[in-house]
Amino acid sequence: MRYLDTEIRLMEERDLDKVLEIENLCFINPWKEKDMLYEMKENPLSNLWVIELSNDSLGLKTICGFCDYWQTFDSGTICQIAVHPDLQGYKLGSQMLEEILKDAKAKKIRTLTLEVRVSNKKAIGLYKKFGFNFSHVKEGYYSDGEDALYMIWEDK
C-alpha cells in the first residue's frame, strides 16, 4: 500500500473553495467566504493553516483540513479546526494540532484556549491528547443552546 504524504502550510487564496467545502461539511453555522477571506487577508491576529495530502506519482494534491488560531501577545485561541469527514480518524487532526502547537511555541505563546461542544467527543479526545485541560463549562454557549467546554493549553 502506498501512503499519501502531507504538507501543513499557511492557507492561500487558491485553497479557499476546498476549505469552505470542509467548513460547510463540518459545522452547523459555517463561516462564509467573506469571513474566511477576512481571516486570511485582513485579521492581523489570525494564523490560518491547511493540511494538504499529496502523492507525486499520482499527481494528486488535495486540501483535507484546516486550522485557524488567533494570537494576542502571549496567548492564543483556537477558533476552528476541521478535517474532511471522509478523512477523519487518520491522524490528520493530530498532525495539524502538533504543528500549530510548534508554531505557537515559536511565537512565544504561553497559553491557548478554545471552546468545544460538550457532545464533541472526537475533538475533546484530540485536545486532551495534546495537553489541553478542562477549565469550566460555558452554559448555552452555542446558538442551539448546547454548552461548551472551555479548555486551556499551557506551554510548560
Ligand X SMILES: CC(C)(COP(=O)(O)OP(=O)(O)OC[C@H]1O[C@@H](n2cnc3c(N)ncnc32)[C@H](O)[C@@H]1OP(=O)(O)O)[C@@H](O)C(=O)NCCC(=O)NCCS
Min. distance of Cβ 87 from ligand X in angstroms?
Answer: 7
Angle 92-52-19 from CA coordinates, rounded to 5°: 90
Site map (CB under 6 A) of ligand X, residues 3-32, x = contact: -----------------------x------
- The smaller minimum CB distance to ligand X, of residues 59 and 152, is found at 152
Which residue's Cβ lies closest to ligand X? Answer: 93
By C-alpha distance, which of 127, 18, 38 is closest to 78?
A: 127
Residue 125 in the binding site for ligand X (CB under 6 A): yes
Q: Shortest Cβ distance from residue 48 to ligand X (Å)?
A: 15
Residue 125 Cβ vs ligand X, minimum distance, rounded to whole Å: 3
Which of the following is catalytic: 115, 141, 142, 146?
A: 115
Contact between 81 and ligand X per CB under 6 A: yes
Residue corresponding to grid cell 507525486: 56
Query: What would you report as the CA-atom Rg of the chain, rounded to the nearest whole angstrom?
Result: 16
Q: How far apart are CA 143 and CA 11, in angstroms?
A: 28
Which residues sit opposite 72 in a β-bridge?
A: 75
Question: SS3 for 32?
Answer: coil
Q: Does 46 help bind ligand X (rule: CB under 6 A)? A: no
Q: How far apart are CA 77 and CA 149, in angstroms?
A: 14
Active site residue 98: no
Euclidean distance between CA atoms 51 and 15, whole angstroms: 10
Contacts with ligand X by CB under 6 A lie at 26, 81-83, 88-94, 116, 120-123, 125-126, 129
What amino acid positions are annotated as catalytic residues? 115, 127
